[in-house]
Structure formats: structure tokens, C-alpha cells
Amino acid sequence: MAKKLNEILFNQIAQFHEFNLYLPTRTIYFGGLGTTNEDDADTVNCRTVAQFIKNLHILSANNSKYISVLLNSPGGSWEDGIACYDLMKQIKPKIAIIGLGKLYSMGSVLFQAGDKRLIYPNTTMMIHDGTDGYMGDAKSFENWAKNSKYVREVMYKIYYSHMKQKKSKIALKDIEDMCSHDRVFTATEAVQWGLADEII
């Protein structure tokens, strides 16, 4: 009887893998690390973020235990990604984010939300200003350009809040200069610059 109950429980838990969540270890997979086969499973978009937010809410019901996030992403949408970032900074449970493979663009911003930021030794991180695609009339273009400037300032401040702890003399202007082009970091460099806490 006990064996049958364990089998039923295991099957129920295994179903959560379809949603990039593993309940026994309180781990969320972000970045094509789960069982989904979609081509955009590793990008930050409305679909991956919606599932990520649902998983955060499931695990945050128990606020006394760490949540682990395995992150491997080439980046994606700022608007979708910053929703994840804000939520991770607000929920009560502490979050350990483990970076592996690639942490590019919005993926590197999400990584900064962790209370612990751990990185595998062969992981690559990349920061930059991102890309803009404006549409519409001149007034719309002006408004989107203004919003783009605001977004970049928020992003610089997120990086700065961590980097200044390791590089006390760094200024926001230095980070702006770094982000004017793709700036690539090895795992060791990410720790040296304060963009990660330690190498696993």
C-alpha cells in the first residue's frame, strides 16, 4: 500500500516538470531546462515569464525556505523580465539563483535579483543596452525614445547596486560605457566585477 502511495505521489510531483518546477527541492527552471520543447523556451517572453511567476507564487506559500532558480537565458523582453525581477525582490522567501550556460542581456538582469547569485565556472554573462524597435509617428517615436532612456537608467542602477560593492570607485557612467556595446564576462570576471557572488 505504501509503495502504491509513493508511486502516486511521485507521478503527481513529476507532472510539475512540465511546468519547469520541481517541488521536492523547491527549484524553478528558467531557460529551456525543463521538459518544454518550444524554440523560445530559453528567452524572456510573456509565456515563459507567466509560468515563472506562477511557479514563484506556488513556492512562496512557504516563506521559510529558500527558492532555487536555475537560469540559462539569452535574454529577451525587458517588460516581461522586469516583472520577474520585481517579484523576486518582493516575495518573502530568499532566492538563490544559479547561473549556467549563458546569462545574456535580460538574463543577466534577472540574475541580479537573487539573494544568492551563484554561477557555474563555464557560464558566460553579457550586458548591453539591448535593442530598440520604434514604430509609429514622430510623437510616438519621441515617447518610446524617452521610455528607452528610462529603461536603460533602471538597468544601470540594478548593475550598479551590486558592482559598487566590489568596485567601490565605479560610477554609473562607467556602467553606461560598458553597456554601449556587448560586454562579455567569464564567470571569474562576473564575480570580480560584483555581477555574481561566487563560482560553484
Residues taking part in catalysis = 105, 128
Q: Which residues pair with 124 in a beta bridge?
A: 102
For residues 114 and 69, the answer to whether their CB atoms sit within 8 Å is: yes
Instruction: Give dist(CA 161, CA 138) in Å, integer.
Output: 35
Give long-range contacts, CB 8 A cutoff, 24+ apart: 58-65: 58/21, 59/21, 59/26, 59/28, 59/93, 60/91, 60/92, 60/93, 62/26, 62/93, 63/91, 63/92, 63/93, 64/93, 65/26, 65/93
DSSP H helices, 91-122, are 106-111
